[in-house]
Amino acid sequence: MIWLYFFIPLIIIGGIAVYFEKRSGMTKPNEDKQADHLGEVQRHNRMNIHQEGSDHSDN
DSSP string, 6-37: HHHHHHHHHHHHHHHHHHH------HHHHHHH
Global confidence as pTM? 0.39
pLDDT-derived band of residue 10, with 50, 70 and 90 as boundaries? very high
Looking at residue 51, its pLDDT comes to 66
CA 43 to CA 28: how far, in whole Å? 26
Tens digit of pLDDT for each residue in 14-45?
A: 999 988 888 777 667 667 776 777 777 777 77
pLDDT beyond 80 at 55: no
CA 10 to CA 59: how far, in whole Å? 41
Q: Which helix (H) or strand (E) holds 59?
A: none
pLDDT-derived band of residue 9, with 50, 70 and 90 as boundaries? very high
